[in-house]
Amino acid sequence: MPRFVFSLEAALEKRRRIERERQLVVAKLERTRVDLDERVRAVQGRLTQERNDMRSLLGPGGAGIGRVVVSSVRLQATAGLHGLAELRALAIELAGVMKRLESARAQLTAAAVARKAVEKLRQQQLERWKAEESRRESAELDDLTLMRFGRVEDTLEGAAT
The DSSP secondary structure of 37-91, one letter per residue, reads HHHHHHHHHHHHHHHHHHHHHHSTTSSSTT---HHHHHHHHHHHHHHHHHHHHHH
CATH number of 9-160: 1.10.287
Reference 73, options 60, 54, 52; nearest CA is 54
pLDDT (tens digit, 9 = 90+) per residue, 23-74?
999 999 999 999 999 999 999 999 999 888 888 877 765 555 567 677 777 8
The pTM for the full model equals 0.70
Predicted confidence (pLDDT) at residue 17 exceeds the cutoff of 80? yes
- Domain positions in the chain are 9-160
**CB contact at 8 A, 101 and 29:** yes
Q: How many residues does the chain have?
A: 161
pLDDT at 126: 95
